[in-house]
Amino acid sequence: MAHLLVVESWVGSMSRLLPRAMEEAGHHFTFLTRDLHHYLRSAPEGVDHPLLTARNVVTLPTNEVDVLLPQVERLHQALCFDGVVTSCDYYLPTAARIAARLCLPGPSPASMENACRKDATRRVLAAAGVPGPRFAVCADGAEAEAAARDLGYPLVVKPVDLCGGMLVRRVDDERALAEACRALARFPRNARGQRRAPHILLEEFLRGPEVSVETVTCRGVAHVVGVTDKSVGRAPAFVETGHMFPAALAPDGRDAATDAALRAGEALGLDDVVAHTEVKLTADGPRVVEVNPRPAGNRITELVRHVTGIDLAAACVDVALGREPDLRRRDTGLRSAAIGFLVPEAAGTLASVEGADGVREADGVLEVQLAEAGRTVEAADSNNAYLGHVMAGDAGGLGARNRVESLLAGVRPLLVRS
């Protein structure tokens, strides 16, 4: 049994998976937050609130790292932590710095800083010769306009330090670029109250299917768990509409994606980390889109578990404790698993979701989660706006995506327009 320090978590699918992994392994945890009320608003759907299983809940200034570190050091002297973990992108560098300060296992702070800052990732990968889009890092809209003329449209505009696809936009001309830059300027802090870097990342728009490579690196050895595919909604936003594991790729495409992902992780110096690396398979070869030094979101980890038996949330806990994770594949009876998201295309108030009962009773369904009536809905512009999801498996082959898409076709949200 180990004692983990959990820093500012309970977001997305990991809000259920990380506590489950710790509990099943017999570990306990102390929870560290700057704002306990952030977590008391609601429990993750379908489970008791994770805070109910915390051994301790401690309030400290997690957004002020230099102030935080000596306080955590004193806490460690009293409570004796064995590892540090977080499921929130915005605190991955903080968790790494805490682990380094306490001489606990974990990735280096520098590697996490570079992986969590999209502009730094671009520079590190470019210097190492890892293939990616042509890009420019700009201080403001005026610089972005000049850089765009050199790069050429269409382009992708990104914040350098947000997650979930927030404010990532395709732009096809100067007018769209200016609006995207203004939108970034109107968002000076992230959802956790941290001040954002004002830089603007412009990237060449890449054409081709996008996949993600799920890896676990432990003690300098990188293990490829598999490749997941991705479907994306229409421009200008890049809202993920679904995934399937494993991706329906020819061996050369799979090998190209995994090679690019491994090179990216090595260039960044990532070790003792579960990673989710996004790669575009273009006509000119693979191009690394992003490196996320944590388990995949959008319940991709559960797709992996349903097909292979490998629990990436448990692996995340193991590497945080300096332990070799269990990455043995098991026969689960499924050859593929897929998830599709119910993506709102208009604003209003959710009155009901038609077809939900039929989906829940369908063969092959693994999960169904749908929003309840009364929810205020906005047209989706990031991965944070879903009205639910359907997950299904296929025991015979790579038919899970078609199964999910067929099921979702019978589901329709009914909105009362505002």
Q: Are residues 88 and 176 in the same domain?
A: no
Question: Can you tell me whether residue 220 is helix, strand or coil?
Answer: coil
pLDDT tens for each residue of 266-279: 999 999 999 999 99
What is the CATH number for 345? Answer: 3.30.470.20
Query: Cβ distance 202 to 151 under 8 Å?
Result: yes
Angle 251-268/109-116 helices, nearest 10 degrees?
A: 120
Mean pLDDT of all residues in 312-341:
97
Mean pLDDT of all residues in 289-308:
96
Question: Which residue segment(s) compose the domain that 416 sits in?
Answer: 335-418
Q: Are residues 257 and 348 in the same domain?
A: no
Q: Are residues 158 and 211 in the same domain?
A: no
Question: Can you tell me whether residue 262 is helix, strand or coil?
Answer: helix
The band of 44, judged by pLDDT with boundaries at 50, 70 and 90, is: low
Mean pLDDT of all residues in 155-159:
97
Rg value, the chain, Cα: 21
Q: Are residues 86 and 161 in the same domain?
A: no
Q: Are residues 211 and 325 in the same domain?
A: yes
Q: Are residues 240 and 278 in the same domain?
A: yes
Q: What are phi and psi of 97, to 5 degrees?
A: -70, -35
Report if residue 118 sits inside a domain. Answer: no
Q: Are residues 17 and 42 in the same domain?
A: yes
At which of 52, 85, 104 does a domain end?
104
Q: What are phi and psi of 21, to 5 degrees?
A: -65, -40
Looking at residue 284, what is its pLDDT?
96
Q: Are residues 193 and 237 in the same domain?
A: no
What is the CATH number for 31? Answer: 3.40.50.20
Report if residue 265 sits inside a domain. Answer: yes
Question: Can you tell me whether residue 77 is helix, strand or coil?
Answer: helix
Q: How far apart are CA 27 and CA 84, in angstroms?
A: 12
Q: How far apart are CA 313 and CA 326, in angstroms?
A: 11
Report if residue 115 sits inside a domain. Answer: no
The band of 381, judged by pLDDT with boundaries at 50, 70 and 90, is: confident
The band of 235, judged by pLDDT with boundaries at 50, 70 and 90, is: confident
Percentage of the chain beyond pLDDT 70 is: 98
Looking at residue 280, what is its pLDDT?
98
Q: How far apart are CA 145 and CA 118, in angstroms?
A: 19
Report if residue 282 sits inside a domain. Answer: yes
Q: How far apart are CA 149 and CA 377, in angstroms?
A: 37
Query: Cβ distance 231 to 335 under 8 Å?
Result: no
Report if residue 125 sits inside a domain. Answer: no
At which of 316, 332, 348 does a domain end?
332
Q: Are residues 284 and 341 in the same domain?
A: no
Given a cut of 70, whether residue 43 has pLDDT beyond it is no
Helix or strand run (H / E) with residue 67: helix 65-79
What is the CATH number for 177? Answer: 3.30.1490.20
The closest alpha carbon to 304, from 277, 334, 272, 326, belongs to 334
pLDDT tens for each residue of 83-116: 999 999 999 999 999 999 999 999 999 999 999 9
What tokens appear for 68 in the block? 């935080």
Report if residue 119 sits inside a domain. Answer: no
At which of 145, 174, 204 does a domain end?
204
The closest alpha carbon to 358, from 400, 410, 404, 394, belongs to 410
Looking at residue 418, what is its pLDDT?
63
Q: How far apart are CA 127 and CA 367, in angstroms?
A: 43
User: CB neighbours (10 Å) of residue 38?
Assistant: 14
Report if residue 111 sits inside a domain. Answer: no
Q: Are residues 195 and 261 in the same domain?
A: no
Query: Cβ distance 359 to 402 under 8 Å?
Result: no
Given a cut of 90, whether residue 174 has pLDDT beyond it is yes
pTM of the model: 0.95
Q: Are residues 219 and 192 in the same domain?
A: no
Report if residue 215 sits inside a domain. Answer: yes
Q: Are residues 37 and 147 in the same domain?
A: no
Strand 210-218 versus strand 273-282 pairing type: antiparallel
Q: Domain tally for the chain? A: 4
Given a cut of 70, whether residue 302 has pLDDT beyond it is yes
Question: Can you tell me whether residue 400 is helix, strand or coil?
Answer: helix
Question: Can you tell me whether residue 303 is helix, strand or coil?
Answer: helix
